[in-house]
Structure 1
Amino acid sequence: MRISKTVQETEGVRKAVVVMATDKAKFALESAGLLTPEIKEATGSDLVMVVEADSEELANRVIARMEELVSMNISKDTKRTSDLLNQKVTVINIGLEIFKEALEQQGVEVVHVDWQVPAGGDTRLVNILKKLY
């Protein structure tokens, strides 16, 4: 969305869109008069870029800029992801003892909360307990 807005401010650009080719996005593109045969064939995992501009040359320049901006965002996200993966992991585990043990075997710091389903999951007893509160 930000990329679309950024390039749409370029003089001579009437419309510019970068979206995943989901059915909803295709419907919106069709409503805006931007749906092409190639986009119709694209799947929801495909990233599509469409530009309506004063000239084909301008449209090509804007698409190149959009590709550049997408690549920049991917690089930033990859760095953030790798930073996250290099951090020490701490987990709060609620109720599942076997999960806590598996994490500890991998050297993960675990805070375990020994939680049980109220009244052993018996809905009749749960309703009685609710009335007591």
Structure 2
Amino acid sequence: MSTTANAPARPSITFIAPRTASELADWTSDQVDCTAPGLAAWVRYTSGVSLDDRRHEVSDPLASRFIELHERHCDDPEALVAAFLAQQDIVPAALAAQQGFADAVTDGYRRLINTGLAASLSTL
């Protein structure tokens, strides 16, 4: 599995999400429902292994950090998602602190690995 060594320094993902508690208060459940599965899919992508067990390059300057998180928490989806949500340079702390959002990302991740992409998308 390779990573992009010469990738420019940049935030890992551009996350259009609330960054403060007051911004979070304005967020609707629809925004959570749409954002959580996307983040769950991104967490899965960063493992470097597709849902059908094919290796792929994780083209991201933080790839080695993500691989380490996957190796450390590979058998525990809840701990893995929590570890990703704790990356404050990626996920705003105000959003990560919301248990409902964390639960939605964890549920989306579990659904993705247990039922596959098509079944996961059919629930949206």
Q: Could you tell me the TM-score, scaled by structure 2's length?
A: 0.30
**Which structure features the higher share of strand residues?**
1
Q: Which has the larger radius of gyration?
A: 1
Q: Which has the higher contact order (CA 8 A, sep 6+)?
A: 2
Q: Could you tell me the TM-score, scaled by structure 1's length?
A: 0.29
